[in-house]
Structure 1
Amino acid sequence: MTTPDLTGVLVALAGVIGLLTGSFLNVVVHRVPRGESVVSPPSACPRCGHVVRARDNVPVLSWVLLGGRCRDCRGPISWRYPVVELLTGAVFALVAWRVGISAALPAYLYLAGIAVALALIDLDVRRLPDVIVLPSYPVALLLLGVASAADGQWAALLRALTGAAVLFLVYAVLWFARPGGMGLGDVKLAGVLGLYLGWWGWDALVVGGFAAFFIGGLVSLPLVLAGGAGRKSSIPFGPCMLVAAVGALFVAEPVADWYLDLVGLGAPV
């Protein structure tokens, strides 16, 4: 059992790691869709070309101290950079609070990191890059396998593999049945999310899988009603899948209990 004091330390530490990760994710989101290296060359101002100094690369703080401008040419630096850093820090902190001190925490922090990166990339370019999605399969299997070995939860690992297969097949069938309805990248991502949701539990797999379509409907319906989107409009589905998967870690159990009570299958009082 994680004590309140240790939980606070864990959440704070994860938040700091998230801020630092968010700084790196800004580079990933910008360069990966362009096929550029995320490690070389070092970050530089797009206006004057000066390399960003180490002291100007502190997440959020540097942007605030510089007034959102380049130190050298005083050109504006997008507000998106500190927002992504804060968002990643917040997601990391929340995931750490939910998972607690556990061998599974690195696996779910990795999920949090790719969730932020992939969601932003899909929003920007309507694509989920294979260079992030495909390596996530072995990484997730390794991290979840270590967690299963550490805690003796081999049933959870088997459930994760089953979840990956089920979610991948569901998305593959939908992609095949309705070409253009979703991208092939969504199908590939489904298997990764199935690993994480399945490891967490059957309720997470069901709720996380269903919630993606629910969120997608909530996003699409106002746009259609307002005339801003039609049946042929390209509305990225990846962010819906990712929000649903991470959200399921927090709400799957109460949602599943609510539904079982609704249909009269809940545990008797």
Structure 2
Amino acid sequence: MELLDPRLVTAGALGALAVVGLLIGSFLNVVIWRVPRGESVVSPPSACPGCGHAIRPRDNVPVVSWLLLRGRCRDCGRPISARYPAVEAATALLFVLVGLRIGWSPALPAFLYLAAVCLALALIDLDVRRLPDAIVLPSAVVVPVLLLVASLVLGDIGAMLRALAGGAALFVLYFGLMMLKEGAMGFGDVKLAGVLGVALGWLGWGELVVGAFAAFLVGGLFSIGLLLLGRAGRRSRIPFGPWIVLGAAIGVACGEAVWDWYLGFLL
């Protein structure tokens, strides 16, 4: 599906997306830390884990505050992880890239939401080896609803039907893999694949097929690399969530072009 609209590709619009991404990224840092621990993302306010002092508003400006504080707490001098500004900057970059790919389309909110959620889930999976239902299950509702609204606005119900087919296909594929080999997949991976299948299917069959294949390709290459370097064994459990997310990103970015090239090569 061709979505790019030149009206969005302006410095002002992309700058606005970047600013929104920075703000969302700051919130994602809270989500990534608290959700796996079953804590509220609303209260209490963020505080330094060293001295317990609440973070001042002026010290909570995305990226900028970390740079001005030189990566340390204002009160106790404890180092602040560089991952905090990295997540904020990465979210801003993702929002800009999504804007460039999707354009000024009714589907833009769905893909911005998905970009933020996927970044959080990928990092959580790396940290704790699971994908929390508190994030995945709401996404299984929010993404289809937003895309349904986009389909109605665009008058393209076929895209929504394709989205549902894509979500079902990836859910069944991952569920089958989970049942086929114990430990190969977690049910969180299955549910996430279903959500991403909806988004990829909405864009097109090429995005869906390439996004699904790319997850296994990049995940497999990474696993082989770890084995060759002696960083993992045959029985090591490597979180697959980040690779599902990366594969989907590849599908969104270039799935249509790769699929067209592949079909042209075959024919």
TM norm structure 2: 0.96
Which of 68, 71, 83 matches 1:68? 71
Counterpart for residue 91 of structure 1: 94
Counterpart for residue 37 of structure 1: 40
The amino acid across from 2:238 in the alignment is I
Q: Distance in 1 between matches of 2:223 and 2:123?
A: 18
Moved more, 118-127 or 243-252: 243-252
- Check if 1:125 corresponds to 2:128: yes
Counterpart for residue 209 of structure 1: 212
Q: How does 1:76-155 map to 2 (within 5 A)?
A: 76-155=79-158
Q: How does 1:177-216 map to 2 (within 5 A)?
A: 177-216=180-219
Matched-pair contact (CA < 8 Å) for 2:34–2:41: yes
Q: Structure 1 unaligned runs (5+)?
A: none
**Structure 1 residues 85 and 217 mapped into 2: Cα distance closer, same or farther (>3 Å)?**
same
**Structure 1 residues 245 and 5 mapped into 2: Cα distance closer, same or farther (>3 Å)?**
closer
Q: Distance in 2 between matches of 1:2 and 1:158?
A: 23
Matched-pair contact (CA < 8 Å) for 2:6–2:103: no
Q: Distance in 2 between matches of 1:144 and 1:108?
A: 9
Q: Distance in 2 between matches of 1:8 and 1:249?
A: 22
**Structure 1 residues 6 and 189 mapped into 2: Cα distance closer, same or farther (>3 Å)?**
closer
Q: Distance in 1 between matches of 2:44 and 2:11?
A: 37
Counterpart for residue 224 of structure 1: 227
Moved more, 246-255 or 3-12: 3-12
Q: Distance in 2 between matches of 1:209 and 1:5?
A: 28
| Structure 1 residue 92, shift from structure 2 partner | 0.8
| Structure 1 residue 2, shift from structure 2 partner | 3.1
**Per-residue displacement from partner, 1:171-230 (whole Å, max 9, x unpaired)?**
111110111111111011111011100101010110001110001111101111122112
The 4+ residue runs of structure 1 with deviation greater than 2 A are 1-10
Q: Distance in 1 between matches of 2:229 and 2:170?
A: 32
Aligned residues: 264
The amino acid across from 1:134 in the alignment is L
**Per-residue displacement from partner, 1:119-152 (whole Å, max 9, x unpaired)?**
0000001100011001111101111011011111
Counterpart for residue 252 of structure 2: 249
Matched-pair contact (CA < 8 Å) for 1:10–1:97: no
Moved more, 58-67 or 10-19: 10-19
**Per-residue displacement from partner, 1:76-118 (whole Å, max 9, x unpaired)?**
1111100111111101110011101010000000110011000
The amino acid across from 1:57 in the alignment is N
TM norm structure 1: 0.95
Matched-pair contact (CA < 8 Å) for 1:148–1:157: yes
| Structure 1 residue 153, shift from structure 2 partner | 1.2
| Structure 1 residue 73, shift from structure 2 partner | 1.1
Q: Distance in 2 between matches of 1:80 and 1:213?
A: 26
The amino acid across from 1:200 in the alignment is L
Q: Structure 2 unaligned runs (5+)?
A: none
Matched-pair contact (CA < 8 Å) for 1:26–1:84: yes
Q: Distance in 2 between matches of 1:203 and 1:214?
A: 16
Provide the aligned C-alpha RMSD in A: 1.2
Q: Percent identity, please.
A: 60
**Tell me, what secondary structure is at the counterpart of 1:27?**
helix
**Tell me, what secondary structure is at the counterpart of 2:10?**
helix
**Tell me, what secondary structure is at the counterpart of 1:234?**
coil
**Per-residue displacement from partner, 1:53-75 (whole Å, max 9, x unpaired)?**
11110000000011111111111
Counterpart for residue 16 of structure 1: 19
